[in-house]
């Protein structure tokens, strides 16, 4: 039996009652769908899209976190919808902004990564006014500053009838977090299914789970002992200072070390003049954490991974800006001896042999198999690939993220998409993947998933397992190194997943109760916002206040808040300043941490001098708290720098508590400059090819109390800059708006001798 709908290809999509039931409920309310991987969340989205296509002429926006997932969804929709393929378009960073603006106007269904849509909304290339349905795939990302949160805020503000569908396989087991996700996506209803539900059970495929216990090689023992001795040296002073209670090398954990870090930082921030011993403690804690990671890497990953880990620390230690902890570690005799010993080790971690054995046996049994090997570390994925390449029956390929690391360039989104296709068609039969493949990778024929190591996150664990048994039964094999953090991670994940499963039913009731209690309030908000939305939509770009934002800042929360205030935010690579609000005012924004770091590095005054040279009224915004407590700096030195910035450079300093206050300040400032003072936004500090009249106006705008309007009046009256410079105060006062005081100040600029104070 198949879905029968005019916008769904006939006899192609299997009819499943639970999917249709969920989709029908999702038609009525903003809905979060929680459904195990492989049970057809995308089919629910397809059915909802088909209904929208019939009921409305407006657009549909389908968001997914990665480009491979975007391509996958777009391909799926083109295969199963009856509308022409040309009506479905993909938005990624590889499509130019101007092209996206053009495509948005002409296409009905847009499938995109959220960052691209966020960028386009920030720069007002389009709005979501004409979107009838907004789909958030992997909706559990909708927390903090992730783009989903901003996009939904924009959507509910601009769309007259916003309709949201969120989808996830693994929301976690924290009710508070799930409610937060629902709030961030304006969710009013939730549909949860587990594999045990009667309507789902007939479609669940069996997954066999097994694990292999691996023993740490005896040859690793000496290196581990050296590292433990080095760690013990760091634990002792942290324990004596009260930051680690009853800790020893045998009982220390990553959690305890991170707790010690929080205690040290709290102690530092609570004091006006922190003693040097606290900063020593902070460095010691950092070294201890690095050593803990080193031990864990050797025990669970292998020699090559640890060598490359130390290589990165050594590279950092050689940089001028490198951390003290890295420099100290690379000078430690025990660490130096460990690195030397690693070079002499002729063996690798036995997990590598286990992976080889598992993969070879699977391919011998089923040569057409597809296998995914998950590794937590990129270094390990490279090592596994090199081993598996030695065998003719195995065709391995790495699937990693975009970020580059030392001697290991990341994959572009295009390369990721190509690898997925080649894995699907059999060019490769083993995918060696990091976390980038945990979400949404649709490979129905994957028979086996191997975990090189367990992971403590129940969400990631479910996502990894979900790569198999999507269309038929599959296997999952987890490698666990005995007596190492592997064991703890394995049992933690099992416990958390069991807890999540047992609470799903409880969550259904709690969330429904939550929504029922909130529904009346949501209705009031919705009704009261309709008029405002209409006004917002009708406002033109020409009426908007403009703020030019440096491209490194424009995806910050400050830029988002500015967009919320209906300010036109335009990103540009600025030579000076972070924000430009008019022809004379530019703003450098520094968080307290940034300010202190740039003060220590010596870059601060160089930046501010360039800002002073480029703009007549430069501003410095100091954002945050703890100016005198965050670093071990004498408060007299900080006062001295503030005085120098204000008195010597003539840069005004304003203080804000957080990004929201900074955005409020910039809004008021830009509104005053552009509306009241009628000053346009002009970039300085580059080398623009200004026309002659612009250059003349620019020079006159630099005179005391002269706006762009007044500059034009002066130039029209005197005809040249030379004539203005030679004018007497009385002659200057002939220009409307120039009083005695302003005339005298202008006269002084041109006639008094230069004297650098």
pLDDT in tens, 41-92: 999 999 999 999 999 899 999 999 988 889 889 999 999 999 999 999 999 8
Closest among 116, 113, 162, 104 to 138, alpha carbons compared: 113
Q: What is the pLDDT of residue 538?
A: 35
Q: What is the pLDDT of residue 468?
A: 66
Q: What is the pLDDT of residue 541?
A: 42
Q: What is the pLDDT of residue 414?
A: 78
Q: What is the pTM of this model?
A: 0.62
Domains plus CATH for the chain?
A: 17-203 (3.40.50.300), 207-215+349-482 (3.40.50.300), 218-344 (1.20.1320.20), 542-676 (3.40.50.10130), 692-751 (1.10.150.20)
Q: What is the pLDDT of residue 542?
A: 45
Which ranges of 207-346 does DSSP label H, i.e. alpha helix? 221-240, 254-269, 276-300, 303-317, 324-331, 333-344
Distance of CA 513 to the CA centre of its chain: 32
Q: What is the pLDDT of residue 96?
A: 92
How many whole angstroms separate alpha carbon 44 and alpha carbon 34? 11
pLDDT band at 467 (very low <50, low <70, confident <90, very high): low
Q: Residue range 29-38: average pLDDT? A: 87
What percent of the chain clears pLDDT 90, i.e. is strictly above it? 46
Token pair of 213 as six digits: 């216990």
Neighbouring CB atoms inside 10 A of 654's CB total 15
* pLDDT surpassing 80 at residue 448: yes
Q: Are residues 380 and 301 in contact, defined by beta-carbon separation less than 8 angstroms? A: yes
pLDDT band at 128 (very low <50, low <70, confident <90, very high): very high
Q: Which residue has the higher pLDDT, 477 or 440?
A: 477
Q: What is the mean pLDDT of the chain?
A: 85
How many whole angstroms separate alpha carbon 463 and alpha carbon 657? 39
Token pair of 384 as six digits: 């596994």
How many whole angstroms separate alpha carbon 497 and alpha carbon 173? 8
Q: What is the pLDDT of residue 26?
A: 94
Q: Residue range 628-657: average pLDDT? A: 86
Q: Which residue has the higher pLDDT, 430 or 495?
A: 430
Which residues make beta-bridge pairs with 370?
Answer: 446
Q: What is the pLDDT of residue 106?
A: 94
How many whole angstroms separate alpha carbon 568 and alpha carbon 412? 31
Greatest mean pLDDT range, 126-140, 445-459, 539-553, 566-580 = 126-140
Q: What is the pLDDT of residue 531?
A: 33
Give the dihedral sign, CA 269/271/272/273: negative
Neighbouring CB atoms inside 10 A of 471's CB total 12
Q: Residue range 456-463: average pLDDT? A: 67
* pLDDT surpassing 60 at residue 114: yes
Neighbouring CB atoms inside 10 A of 123's CB total 18
Q: What is the pLDDT of residue 540?
A: 43
State the first-to-last Cα distance of the chain, in angstroms, to the nearest integer. Answer: 88
Q: What is the pLDDT of residue 676?
A: 85
How many whole angstroms separate alpha carbon 584 and alpha carbon 371? 61
pLDDT band at 224 (very low <50, low <70, confident <90, very high): very high
Least confident of 371-380, 485-494, 591-600: 485-494
Q: What is the pLDDT of residue 574?
A: 86
pLDDT band at 629 (very low <50, low <70, confident <90, very high): confident
Greatest mean pLDDT range, 201-215, 537-551, 615-629 = 615-629
User: For the stretch 168-205, what's the b/e string if a residue is b when 16 or more beta carbons lie within 10 angstroms of its beta carbon?
Assistant: bbbbbbeeeebbebbebbbbbbbbbbbeebeebeeeee
pLDDT band at 5 (very low <50, low <70, confident <90, very high): very high
How many whole angstroms separate alpha carbon 512 and alpha carbon 226? 55
Q: Are residues 415 and 397 in contact, defined by beta-carbon separation less than 8 angstroms? A: no
Map tokens 């409307």 to a residue: 736
**Cα dihedral 317→319→323→324 (10° resolution):** 60
* pLDDT surpassing 90 at residue 723: yes
Q: Are residues 670 and 582 in contact, defined by beta-carbon separation less than 8 angstroms? A: yes
Q: What is the pLDDT of residues 229-264, one digit of tens each?
A: 999 999 999 998 889 887 677 888 888 999 999 999
* pLDDT surpassing 60 at residue 756: no
* pLDDT surpassing 60 at residue 526: no
Specify the 3-state DSSP secondary structure of 28: helix
What percent of the chain clears pLDDT 70, i.e. is strictly above it? 87
Least confident of 9-13, 447-451, 534-538: 534-538
């Amino acid at each position: 039996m198949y879905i029968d709908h005019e916008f769904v290809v006939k006899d192609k999509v299997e009819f499943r009652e639970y999917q249709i039931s969920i989709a029908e409920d999702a038609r009525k309310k903003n809905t979060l769908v929680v459904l195990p991987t492989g049970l057809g969340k995308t089919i629910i989205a397809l059915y909802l899209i088909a209904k929208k296509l019939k009921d409305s002429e407006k657009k549909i926006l389908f968001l997914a976190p990665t480009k491979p997932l975007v391509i996958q969804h777009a391909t799926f929709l083109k295969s199963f919808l009856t509308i022409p393929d040309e009506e479905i378009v993909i938005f990624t960073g590889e499509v130019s902004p101007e092209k996206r603006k053009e495509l948005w106007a002409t296409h009905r269904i847009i499938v995109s990564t959220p960052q691209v849509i966020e960028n386009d909304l920030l720069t007002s290339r389009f709005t979501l006014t004409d979107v009838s349905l907004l789909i958030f795939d992997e909706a559990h990302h909708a927390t903090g500053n992730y783009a989903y949160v901003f996009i939904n805020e924009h959507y509910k503000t601009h769309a007259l009838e916003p309709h949201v569908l969120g989808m996830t396989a693994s929301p976690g087991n924290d009710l508070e977090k799930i409610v937060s996700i629902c709030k961030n996506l304006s969710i009013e209803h939730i549909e949860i299914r587990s594999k045990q539900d009667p309507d789902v059970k007939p479609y669940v495929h069996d997954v066999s789970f097994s694990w292999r216990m691996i023993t740490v090689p005896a040859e690793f023992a000496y290196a581990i002992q050296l590292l433990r001795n080095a760690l013990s040296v760091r634990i002792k002073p942290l324990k004596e200072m009260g930051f680690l209670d009853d800790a020893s090398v045998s009982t220390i954990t990553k959690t305890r070390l991170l707790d010690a870090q929080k205690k040290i930082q709290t102690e530092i921030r609570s004091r006006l003049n922190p003693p040097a011993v606290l900063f020593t403690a902070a460095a010691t804690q950092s070294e201890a954490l690095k050593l803990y990671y080193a031990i864990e890497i050797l025990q669970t990953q292998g020699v090559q991974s640890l060598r490359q880990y130390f290589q990165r620390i050594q590279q950092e230690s050689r940089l001028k800006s490198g951390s003290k902890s890295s420099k100290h570690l690379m000078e430690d005799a025990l660490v130096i001896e460990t690195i030397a010993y690693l070079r002499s080790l002729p063996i690798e971690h036995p997990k590598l042999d286990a992976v080889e054995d598992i993969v070879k046996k699977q391919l011998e049994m089923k040569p057409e198999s597809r296998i995914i090997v998950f590794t937590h570390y990129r270094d390990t994925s490279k090592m596994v690939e090199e081993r598996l390449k030695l065998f003719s029956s195995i065709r391995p390929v790495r699937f990693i993220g975009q970020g580059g690391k030392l001697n290991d360039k990341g994959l572009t989104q295009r390369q990721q998409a190509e690898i997925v296709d080649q894995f699907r068609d059999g060019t490769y039969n083993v995918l060696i993947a990091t976390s980038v493949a945990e979400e949404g990778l649709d490979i129905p024929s994957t028979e086996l998933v191997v975990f090189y190591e367990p992971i403590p996150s129940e969400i990631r664990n479910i996502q990894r397992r979900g790569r198999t048994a999507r269309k038929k039964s599959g296997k999952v094999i987890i490698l666990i190194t005995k007596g190492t953090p592997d064991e703890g991670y394995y049992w933690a994940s099992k416990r958390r997943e069991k807890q999540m499963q047992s609470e799903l039913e409880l969550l259904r009731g709690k969330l429904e109760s939550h929504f029922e209690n909130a529904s009346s309030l949501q209705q009031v908000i919705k009704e009261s916002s309709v008029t405002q939305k209409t006004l917002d939509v009708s406002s033109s770009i020409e009426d908007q206040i403009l703020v030019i934002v440096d491209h490194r800042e424009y995806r910050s929360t400050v830029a988002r808040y500015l967009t919320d205030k209906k300010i036109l935010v335009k990103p540009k690579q600025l030579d000076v300043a972070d924000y430009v609000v008019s022809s004379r005012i530019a703003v450098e924004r520094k968080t307290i941490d940034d300010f202190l770091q740039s003060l220590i590095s010596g870059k601060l005054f160089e930046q501010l001098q360039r800002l002073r040279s480029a703009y007549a009224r430069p501003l410095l915004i100091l954002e945050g708290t703890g100016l005198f407590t965050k670093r071990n700096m004498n408060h007299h030195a900080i006062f001295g720098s503030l005085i120098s910035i204000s008195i010597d450079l003539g840069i005004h300093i304003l203080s804000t508590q957080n990004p929201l206050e900074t955005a409020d300040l910039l809004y008021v400032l830009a509104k005053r400059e552009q509306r009241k003072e009628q000053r346009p936004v002009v970039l300085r500090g580059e080398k623009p090819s200004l026309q002659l009249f612009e250059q003349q106006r620019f020079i006159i705008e630099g005179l005391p109390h002269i706006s762009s309007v007044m500059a034009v009046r002066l130039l029209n009256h005197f005809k040249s800059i030379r004539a203005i410079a030679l004018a007497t105060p009385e002659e200057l006062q002939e220009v409307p708006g120039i009083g005695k005081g302003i005339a005298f100040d202008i006269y002084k600029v041109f006639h008094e001798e230069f004297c650098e104070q």
